[in-house]
Structure 1
Amino acid sequence: MRRGTAWTHPPPGRVLGVRVEIHGHRGARGLWPENTLPGMSRTMELGVHALELDVALTADRRLVLTHDLTVSAVTSADRGPVHAGDPLYPYVGKPINALTLAQLRTLDVGVRLPRHPDDPFALTQVPMPETRMPTLGAVLGLVDAYEAEGVRLHVELKSDPTRPQLTADPAMFTGMVVEELDKHGRLGNAAILSFDWRVIGEAARLAPGTRRFALIEPDTLHWNDGVGDDVPAAARDAGATTLSPEHVMVDERLMAQASAAGLDVAVWTVNDAALAGRMLDLGVAGVVTDYPDRMRDLWRERGLELPEPVAPLRPVGV
């Protein structure tokens, strides 16, 4: 058995444990470029219980970090074709699954390019020019290098049943992610997340000991058949161990339903301390945030257990 591999179902009830957790969203999108190696490094050094990241599949079947199924003009900038005369260049706006890793690695993903002047992340995010799009394997290698055993990896599989031309086959996609996590001994200290509950069901079959977060928001609930009035029960039946709703959906009724279904609740995306306080009062087990620094201040004020910062990597030979 590999280090960190778990082969049994997690116990019912509070899957995340008794502590209330801070989950860094796309690393820490409000502070550093999202879904990047330098952003993940600094987020671990700041201190979070979990790193959340997004993955999609390239044309040559590589798992890369990206929130969007097409190359975003906000988070990515073309820097030149991978070879002269590439007919797919420019790459911004093209589907991720139509481009190879080599093509995607030409993009600069370290500078946020706001489409409108009130983009809050463009105002607070530290630019890191010439940062490249990483693979999931590279992130796992980075976490291994940090020896960050106390940081859980939350891998969201980007899948949209309404756009099958942009979406990988859920079974194949989930299998590739599970295999990559297992290769690094991370199945026991990771979670698989998706709005597409086909992924959750496949993850339950392939990695029953790995946490599984059913993501929900009002706009995409219809993606999943038979949800009905009791969303937490439906998520549990689909294979989830945790319900992860958009904060606008969280109220006493949802929390009671989640408790009855034996699911924890990890709410997203909460950047305001007052809102986070209300979520904590309702009993959520985790808060997904673009600003882990703000949540750390709130945790400190409330006397909650703070995640330990990970020690910075030392230069070679030091």
Structure 2
Amino acid sequence: MKRLTLLCLLIVLGSACSLDEPSFEYDLQGHRGARGLLPENTIPGFLRAVEEGVDTVELDVVVTSDRQVVVSHEPWFNHTITSRADGSPVTQEVERSLNIFEMTFEETQLYDVGRRGNSNFPDQQAMDVTKPLLAEAILAVETYVYEQNYPPVRYNIETKSQPDWYGVYSPLPNEFAQLLYDQLVDLDILDRTIVQSFDPLTLIAMRQLDPDVTLAMLVYDESQSVELMTEILGFTPDIWSPSYDLVTPLLVDKTDRLGMKLIPWTVNDRDEMIRLLELGVDGIITDYPNRAP
């Protein structure tokens, strides 16, 4: 669902838009759905992202004790957004003890992750909602897209994995990759899915399962250089996905020469989005897809 060009807006809306209004072709990704507008990593949030015209729904996955793939940013219940069944808030002191990797999926449904809203996102609409299975979320989006006659959307799925979590908060990389891969095959969305991670080992495991899966390397600081991370991976990923403040003209040129797309995260200011797009990035990951140019 590429952004409408100025010409399309003039034709469809008949409005007197400014000729200076920017128009770009790029991959607009809704971060955790549309976190700035509705609870993160939830089915309502994903549907809102689709309504706002995203090309790609970005989300995170973890694994339960019964080996279900669940949509969640942390492998525990974040105190900022979580309430217990009785309505009491989860505190920061206990959040990591609420380990999803030690719970069955049924047990995860005892915790609400939307009714309190999110103090970091004052525009977010609060609602009662729980963490969904990956399969539930994908089927809900696919059904909504079909019913609304929207073009097919893509998915960008992050494995929440790092070495000190192995066997504690997450499976080992090979098992994590296999569980996710099997789900993508069953859901028939493999050709429309990016698998991304800060953990190169899950990307390596996914590449070994299927060399055709689109992979994105997430990076958060300058120590994770293109040269270092591609050496660790043993291959050049399809997408380089850095924190947006790491994007420079030099990085744009380097990723272009290596044949990688450059898609930074998480860009919530419209002027910054425009600056990055003018630099030549291939996509934007944002909590506010409604702000996209």
Q: TM-score range by the shorter chain?
A: 0.7 to 0.9
- Would the aligned equivalents of 1:91 and 1:103 in 2 still touch at CA under 8 Å? no
SS of the aligned residue for 2:263 comes to strand
Match of 1:190 among 185, 193, 197: 193
Match of 1:288 among 270, 282, 285: 285
Distance 1:170 1:92 in 2: 21
Instruction: Write the deviation string for residues 45-66 of structure 1: whole angstroms up to 9, x where unpaired.
Output: 2210000010000111111111
Q: Partner of 2:203 in structure 1?
A: 200
Q: CA deviation at 1:184?
A: 1.2
SS of the aligned residue for 1:191 comes to strand
Distance 1:284 1:250 in 2: 8
Match of 1:156 among 147, 155, 158: 158
Distance 1:139 1:60 in 2: 18
Letter in 1 for 2:52: L
Rate the CA distance shift 1:213–1:172 in 2: closer, same or farther, 3 A. Answer: same
Instruction: Write the deviation string for residues 176-211 of structure 1: whole angstroms up to 9, x where unpaired.
Output: 111101101100011101000111112222232221
- Would the aligned equivalents of 2:201 and 2:233 in 1 still touch at CA under 8 Å? no
Q: CA deviation at 1:230?
A: 2.7
Higher RCO (CA-CA < 8 Å; seq separation 6+): 1
Match of 1:62 among 68, 76, 85: 68
Letter in 2 for 1:242: I
RMSD: 2.3
Distance 1:235 1:111 in 2: 42
Distance 2:250 2:194 in 1: 25
Rate the CA distance shift 1:231–1:257 in 2: closer, same or farther, 3 A. Answer: farther
- Would the aligned equivalents of 1:55 and 1:136 in 2 still touch at CA under 8 Å? yes
Instruction: Write the deviation string for residues 19-59 of structure 1: whole angstroms up to 9, x where unpaired.
Output: 31110000010000001111111211221000001000011
Match of 2:215 among 209, 212, 215: 212
Distance 1:91 1:106 in 2: 14
Q: Partner of 1:263 in structure 2?
A: 260
SS of the aligned residue for 1:174 comes to helix
- Would the aligned equivalents of 1:33 and 1:125 in 2 still touch at CA under 8 Å? yes
Distance 2:286 2:263 in 1: 11
Instruction: Write the deviation string for residues 261-287 of structure 1: whole angstroms up to 9, x where unpaired.
Output: 110100100000111111112110000
Letter in 2 for 1:150: P
Q: Partner of 1:97 in structure 2?
A: 101
- Would the aligned equivalents of 2:177 and 2:205 in 1 still touch at CA under 8 Å? yes
Q: Partner of 1:26 in structure 2?
A: 32
Instruction: Write the deviation string for residues 96-119 of structure 1: whole angstroms up to 9, x where unpaired.
Output: 2111111111111123455xxxx4
Identity level (%): 30
Structure 2: stretches of 5+ with no match in the other structure: 1-23, 88-93
Distance 2:108 2:186 in 1: 24
Rate the CA distance shift 1:284–1:154 in 2: closer, same or farther, 3 A. Answer: same
- Would the aligned equivalents of 1:55 and 1:156 in 2 still touch at CA under 8 Å? yes
Q: Partner of 2:272 in structure 1?
A: 275
TM-score (norm 2): 0.82
